[in-house]
Amino acid sequence: MKKDKVAVSRFHVLDFLRGLAIVQMVIFHAAFDLTIFKFLHINFQDDPFWYPFPRVIVFNFLICVGMSLRLVHLEKINWSLVRSRFALLGSIALGITIVTYFAFPKNYIFFGTIHAIALCSLFGVFFLRFPKSSGIVGALMLALNIYFQPTIIPISKWLGVVSMDYIPFIPWFGATLVGIYLHSIGVHKLALTQNRLTRFIQKMGKKSLIIYVLHQPVLFSLSYLLNKVFH
């Protein structure tokens, strides 16, 4: 039985946006870890830069999810690929939940960025044939959340957990829906100036999942070692 294969052209803008989100995530987690060990003193809930910064990062990731889904499954939905992708992301998400539950029982991650990407990747395939409607619905979902803070469905409050990374499906699925629309109008095909910096960020984008999984354990370990040396 032959394995399903999907040949997808690389688009510089899509790789760049995904890589940019990874760079931003590394910066955020570095600052977060240094704050935990009191090398920095950042109020992530009230600071005018650090509060919106992680939300911009998640938006970038989920926009890329929407564009990538339509790029891969535009002609025909490859259900084998959908299942294998969901299984991979779901396994990583479960691992993150288990590790953080034992390491930070009061702040464990029960539905973080990878959890959201997994679920948005699964449900997004049902909207691929309706890009305009997806764009409208997605924009409304994101806009309505402004008036229903902190989230429309505050599962975190129900569980009594202040999660270190909480990205609820609603409204963030809206960003994936907007990404589906952006692909339909050719945003992924926009020209991107090629230089040393953009090529580096694009390379980061091509390895985004590996970097995402590994960067925080490395950064946290380094911060822990610095704490042992200097505190």
3-state secondary structure the chain: CCCCCCCCCCCHHHHHHHHHHHHHHHHHHHHHHHHHCCCCCCCCCCCCCCCHHHHHHHHHHHHHHHHHHHHHHCCCCCHHHHHHHHHHHHHHHHHHHHHHHHHCCCCCCCCCHHHHHHHHHHHHHHHCCCHHHHHHHHHHHHHHHCCCCCCCCCHHHHHCCCCCCCCCHHHHHHHHHHHHHHHHCCHHHCCCCCCHHHHHHHHHHHCHHHHHHHHHHHHHHHHHHHHHHHC
And the tokens for 9?
């052209």
Give the pLDDT score at 15: 95
Give the pLDDT score at 131: 97
Give the pLDDT score at 7: 43
Please report, for the chain, the start and end positions of each structural domain, with discontinuous segments joined by +: 12-230
Give the pLDDT score at 6: 43
Give the pLDDT score at 199: 95
Total length of the chain: 231
Q: What is the mean pLDDT of each run of 10 residues along the chain (231 residues)?
A: 47 94 97 96 94 95 97 93 97 96 91 96 96 97 75 66 87 96 95 93 95 95 95 77
Q: Would the pTM of this model clear 0.85, i.e. be above it?
A: yes
Give the pLDDT score at 156: 67
